[in-house]
Amino acid sequence: MKRIYLIKSILFFIILSFKINAQPDKNMNDQNRSNTPPVASKREKILEIHGDIRKDNYFWLNQREDKEVISYLNDENAYRENSLAHTLDLQDRLYNEITGRIKQVDMSVPYLKNDYMYYTRYEMGKEYPIYSRKIDTSDAQEEIIIDANVMASGLSYYAIGSITVSPDNNLTAYSEDIVSRRLYTIKLKNIYDTLVYDEAIPNTSGSIVWFNDGKAFLYVAKDPETLRSERVYKHIVGQDHSLDELLFEEKDETFNVGIYKSRSNKIIYIGSYSTLTSEVRYCDADNSNSIFNIISPRVRDHLYSVTDDGCYFYITSNDHALNFRLMTASIENYSVTNWIEKIPHRNDVLLEEVNCFQDFIVIEERVRGIVKLRLLDHEQDCYIDFNEMAYTASLVDNYVFNTDKIRYNFTSLTVPTSIFEYNLKHKNSVLLKEQEIVGGYDKDAYISKRLEIKATDGTLVPVSLVYKKDKKKDSGNPLLLYAYGSYGFSLDPSFSSVRLSLLDRGYVYAIAHIRGGQELGRQWYEDGKLLKKKNTFTDFIDCAKGLIDLKYTSKEHLYAMGGSAGGLLMGAVINMAPELFNGVIAAVPFVDVVSTMLDESIPLTTGEFDEWGNPKDKIYYDYMKSYSPYDNVAELNYPAMLVTTGLHDSQVQYWEPAKWVAKLRAMKIGKNPIYLYTNMTTGHGGASGRFERYKETAMEYAFLLDREGIKE
């Protein structure tokens, strides 16, 4: 089911980093002003629904173009910068450490697609990748498809959404975002003369799917205000996009639309997805004039995804199957009454994704929180053995349909990302590449563990940890506890060379696999959403207390971090248990839950009703209000906090964290500082360059280390 959640997960969960480039307000009278926390003026706004009145003193901060708003954000940046000025040397050291581990001249493992070997490479000192290919012969010359360094020249932000080469191998259709609002413009260029055509298509999701004749492709248009992916168009090469044919429009505002082509190269799909329901259409990829047919009409609470092997549809469905089951149906006779069960529902196994090849399928499953790759053909049914307790693995770059080999990546908290090729005939894996850590890395110097901590209601919550082997279980250890816990997104343990800068300074790093994710199956998700959302927060608090009880850390040395919906988690837990943490980092936090979910003009709101609830219903309103971080700020001794946002954030509007910080600072007791950092040029994902993004990471780590008195 990863395809169903891909659209949502790319919208809500990023390991976040932002560039430090905001400057102090030029109208500031003197240097001392930036050493004093800014005070946002209070302008009462009355918000009333269901007979309940809320007063929002900082509602005015939602005016992005208002000079006073910009001035306030700049003042906040100046205050943070001056308050943390004593950590600048440490920030520089951290930044140099982190970027120093990156192999500057590097190349991905080439993969075969339509007679060419495709790869991505980086050059010395360059921020962006160069997308290249060679014809699949030994003496082939490189052909550069896109040099993102050239495209990004002069821009403060640049991101490629997708790159898709035409079936005749001559044209490239690619999508780019230069603002960081995830509104992509599609462009075409000739690979051989580097000519970029004039037919730019704005306001798209970035996805591109070619018909096999190479004369036309599909794309998805977004509403430029709500950012909902809602319409599928067919574009004929050489034609002005104003003439593009509308093939499908999703009129239900709780749904988003995606497009994809199967590995068999025979079928193109349009998927309509909401949190609880899906509907898939298909057409013949060989015929750009073919009609899309519905495989199974939408029925509320029926989630399904579809792929094919050229002869049969493979349908992952939750019909009478909470953790999903696998059904098949002939492409010629695919009505629901003709679906045949191939893999039944299992209470202890979540079926996540099915990958079809000509002679076999690969199934990505999750068993007690651990990802498994299952290989199934006419002769065998087996699993790839990873010999680890906590890891993540998934298929990657498998574009050849008729093959007996598959590629997958593997990583754990101690093992760098590695690309393997598995031979189905010989039943063995060959390492193609392991991420190189410049300066050296000894994985045997670190240890990872997987614990289970009992929540208040008796539920066992998994926690993954990593730390240096020479660390003793000592309550004096600093520990950073990270979590997300929303949208059914499973937060799998993976390696981070960046994280070494904390581990090598004595930190323990822990991931709490709390309810609201999907690590332990669909029920794990269901128990952390809507009217059960508070389980997410209490799980995190119980994990924090459990780690303290197990002597991994203490309240004086415990830190918490989360981003986006994980930022909501941070906001909720500091209202519920502020005394547990010595410091908190909330990145692009979704904290004004009620007001945001009442405003359907804000991006993503309508598609979120089945995640949080619709506050127009009083039952959901009351429940959401009871945990919404902004609505529950109180006179508490909050921990030290670093809150980050982006002025152009399309997922969580900048004013949510800005209002939250203003209210926290006005109401809190105690002397712990609260800092707000607004990246004035980017959005939800922060800086786009491979080095620049780590400036914010260095700032965040310096904030944590400074709380521990670590100066270098």
Catalytic residues: 564, 649, 684
Q: Where are the beta strands (DSSP E) in 198-302?
A: 201-210, 216-222, 229-236, 245-249, 256-261, 267-273, 278-284, 293-294
Amino acid at 345: H
Q: How many CA atoms lie within 13 A of 160 on its CB side?
A: 20
How many Å apart are CA 344 and CA 365, to the nearest integer?
13
Q: How far is CA 411 from CA 94, 415, 435, in A?
A: 24, 5, 10
Q: For residue 308, what are the β-bridge partners?
A: 313
Residues 6+ apart with CB under 8 A from 700: 561, 585, 642, 644
How many Å apart are CA 448 and CA 176, to the nearest integer?
38
Long-range CB contacts (within 8 A, 24+) of 286-290: 286/211, 286/212, 286/213, 287/211, 288/211, 288/213, 288/215, 288/216, 288/234
Q: Which two tokens stand for residue 392?
A: 């993540």
Q: Would you say how long the chain is, in residues?
A: 712
Helix (H, G, I), strand (E, B) or coil at 215: coil
> How many C-beta neighbours within 10 Å does residue 453 have?
19
Amino acid at 222: K
b/e per residue, 315-327, with b = 16+ CB within 10 A? Answer: bbbbbebebbbbb
Backbone angles phi, psi at 480, to 5 degrees: -105, 120
Q: Which two tokens stand for residue 450?
A: 């997987």
Q: Which of 293, 275, 180 is nearest to 227 (CA)?
A: 180
How many Å apart are CA 444 and CA 454, to the nearest integer?
30
How many Å apart are CA 205 and CA 596, to the nearest integer?
22
State the residue for tokens 């339509």.
114
Please give, one letter per residue, the 3-state secondary structure of 589-606. CCCCHHHHHHCCCCCCCH
Q: Which two tokens stand for residue 83?
A: 């308050």
Q: Which two tokens stand for residue 364?
A: 């990505």
How many Å apart are CA 108 and CA 114, to the nearest integer?
18
Helix (H, G, I), strand (E, B) or coil at 48: strand
What's CA 447's distance to the chain center, in Å? 26
Q: Which of 282, 210, 197 is nearest to 248 (CA)?
A: 282
How many Å apart are CA 327 and CA 380, to the nearest integer?
19
Taking a C-beta distance cutoff of 8 angstroms, is the pair 384, 428 a contact? Answer: no
How many Å apart are CA 654 and CA 660, to the nearest integer?
10
Long-range CB contacts (within 8 A, 24+) of 400-405: 400/112, 400/113, 401/263, 401/264, 401/265, 401/310, 401/357, 401/358, 402/357, 402/358, 402/359, 403/357, 403/358, 404/359
